Copies of this chain bind each other. A is one copy, B any other.
Amino acid sequence: MDQLSVTFAALADPTRRAILARLTEGPATVKELSEPFDISGPAISKHLRVLEKAGLITRGREAQWRPCRLDATPLEEVAVWAENYRRFWDANYARLDALLTEMKENDR
């Protein structure tokens, strides 16, 4: 699978996006990351492995803790990819705008 697919797949889970959001406030241990969710430790471990394979986090070692930190670089590719479609969602607004104008015309 290509990098972009792996990234999108990693982002397709709300728990994983919440973990990323938490990591914007700074590094955190696995325990800290798992606190907001009522799922088991191993489940969190799996999510972290998915994020790590997608290159979205990196993990260090400090005694018995394995602190995670955000690495947002793959998200730039996501942003660039999405931005290429901007003219199409803009186009929809343009079309809607045209429709509304037409309706006003017909009203008169």
A residues sitting closer than 8 Å to B (CB atoms) are 1-2, 4-5, 8-9, 11-14, 17, 20, 24, 70-73, 75-76, 78-79, 82-83, 85-86, 88-89, 91-92
Contact = CB atoms under 8 A, between A and B. Distances in A.
Contacts of A13: 5
29 contacts: A2-B14, A4-B14, A4-B17, A5-B13, A5-B14, A5-B17, A8-B8, A8-B9, A8-B11, A8-B12, A9-B9, A12-B12, A20-B85, A24-B85, A24-B88, A71-B92, A72-B89, A72-B92, A73-B92, A75-B82, A75-B85, A75-B88, A75-B89, A76-B82, A76-B89, A78-B78, A79-B79, A79-B86, A82-B82
A14 B8 CA distance: 10
Number of copies: 2
B78 A82 contact: yes
A13 to B, nearest CB: 7
A85 B92 CA distance: 26
Contact of A72 (B4, B17, B85): B85
